[in-house]
Amino acid sequence: MPLFMLYSMAVNLAVGGALLLAWKRGRGQPFTRWIGLFFMVGAVWVPSYLLYFSDSSLNWLGGVIWCAHGALSMLFLLYGVSLMHGAGYRLWHFLMSGLVMFVALMVALSVSPRLAVLTIAAIFSVVAVFVARLLRQGPPAEKLAAVLLLVNALCWWITPIWGVEFQPVQAEIVTLVRLMLGLALLYACVDRAARDAERMSSQFLRLTDGSHQGVLIMVGEHFVYANPVALRLFGLKGHAQIPDNWARLALNDFDRQLLGQRLEKLRSGELENLSWVQALKDHTGRTLQLRLTCWVTEWAGEPAIQVVLSDETDIREAEQQLIQQATHDRLTGALNRFGIERLARVALRDGRMHALMLVNIDRFSGINDAFGYTKGDELLSLVAARLADASNANPSLARVSRDEFLLLLPLQEGVASASSIAAGLLQSMARPYQLAGIELNITASIGVALYPNDGDSFEHLLKQASLAVKSAKEAGQNAIRFFDSAMDGQLHEEILLTNDLHGAVQRNEFELYLQPILDMHTERVVGAEALIRWVHPVRGFVSPGVFIPIAEKAGLIIEIGSWVIDQACATLTRWHAQPAFNELTLAINISAKQFGRGDVDHVLARALEVHGTPANLLELEITESALINEPEQFVDLLARLRRLGVRLAIDDFGTGYSNLTYLQRFMVDKLKVDQSFVRDVTLNSQNAAIVQAVVQMAASLGLKTTAEGIEDSETLGTLRGLGCDQAQGYLFSPPMPADKFEAWVLAIEATADVS
Each residue of 351-410: pLDDT tens digit? 788 999 999 999 888 888 878 888 889 999 999 999 999 888 788 899 999 999 999 998
Of all residues in the chain, what percent carry a pLDDT higher than 90?
24
Strand 354-361: give its sheet, edge to edge: 398-401, 404-410, 354-361, 444-451, 480-482
Of all residues in the chain, what percent carry a pLDDT higher than 70?
86
Alpha carbon 622 to its chain's center: 51
Is 593's pLDDT higher than 90?
Answer: no
pLDDT band at 252 (very low <50, low <70, confident <90, very high): low
Cross-strand partners of 306: 217, 295
More confident residue, 543 or 624: 543
Q: Range with the lowest mean pLDDT among 394-398, 692-696, 713-717, 749-753?
A: 749-753
More confident residue, 640 or 204: 640
Is 694's pLDDT higher than 90?
Answer: no
- Give the pLDDT confidence score for residue 644 in this predicted structure: 93
* pTM, entire model: 0.51
Closest alpha carbon to 672 in 702, 718, 696, 706: 706
Distance, CA of 406 to CA of 357 (rounded, Å): 6
Q: Where are the beta strands (DSSP E) in 545-666?
A: 585-590, 618-623, 647-653
List, in order, residues 6 or more apart from 505 with CB less than 8 Å away. Answer: 559, 560, 563
- Give the pLDDT confidence score for residue 247 in this predicted structure: 52
Helix (H), strand (E) at residue 510: strand 510-519
Distance, CA of 11 to CA of 350 (rounded, Å): 81
Is 575's pLDDT higher than 90?
Answer: yes
Q: Range with the lowest mean pLDDT among 92-101, 644-653, 699-708?
A: 92-101
| Summary mean pLDDT of the chain | 82
287 contacts 312 by C-beta, under 8 angstroms: no
Count CA atoms closer than 13 A to 484's CA, side-chain side. 5
Read off the pLDDT of each residue in 315-344 and give the average, rounded to a whole number.
86
- Give the pLDDT confidence score for residue 197 in this predicted structure: 60
Distance, CA of 376 to CA of 435 (rounded, Å): 9
pLDDT band at 253 (very low <50, low <70, confident <90, very high): low
Distance, CA of 118 to CA of 153 (rounded, Å): 11
Read off the pLDDT of each residue in 656-676 and give the average, rounded to a whole number.
72
Largest CA distance in the chain: 176
Distance, CA of 123 to CA of 473 (rounded, Å): 110
Read off the pLDDT of each residue in 129-145 and give the average, rounded to a whole number.
76
pLDDT band at 243 (very low <50, low <70, confident <90, very high): low
Q: Which amino acid is at 388?
A: A
Residue-wise pLDDT tens digits, 176-224 = 777 787 777 777 777 766 666 666 666 666 656 656 788 888 888 788 8
Give the C-alpha distances (Å, rounded to integers) separating 430 from 182, 439, 542, 715. 101, 12, 39, 42
Is 279's pLDDT higher than 90?
Answer: no
List, in order, residues 6 or more apart from 309 with CB less than 8 Å away. Answer: 213, 214, 215, 216, 229, 230, 233, 290, 291, 292
677 contacts 654 by C-beta, under 8 angstroms: yes
List, in order, residues 6 or more apart from 475 with CB less than 8 Å away. Answer: 481
- Give the pLDDT confidence score for residue 210 in this predicted structure: 58
Give the C-alpha distances (Å, rounded to integers) separating 345 from 183, 335, 340. 76, 14, 8
Q: Range with the lowest mean pLDDT among 47-51, 79-83, 235-239, 402-406?
A: 235-239
- Give the pLDDT confidence score for residue 148 in this predicted structure: 78
Q: Range with the lowest mean pLDDT among 94-103, 185-194, 341-350, 421-430?
A: 185-194
More confident residue, 163 or 576: 576
Which one of 23-32, 459-468, 745-754 scores highest in mean pLDDT?
459-468
More confident residue, 545 or 142: 545
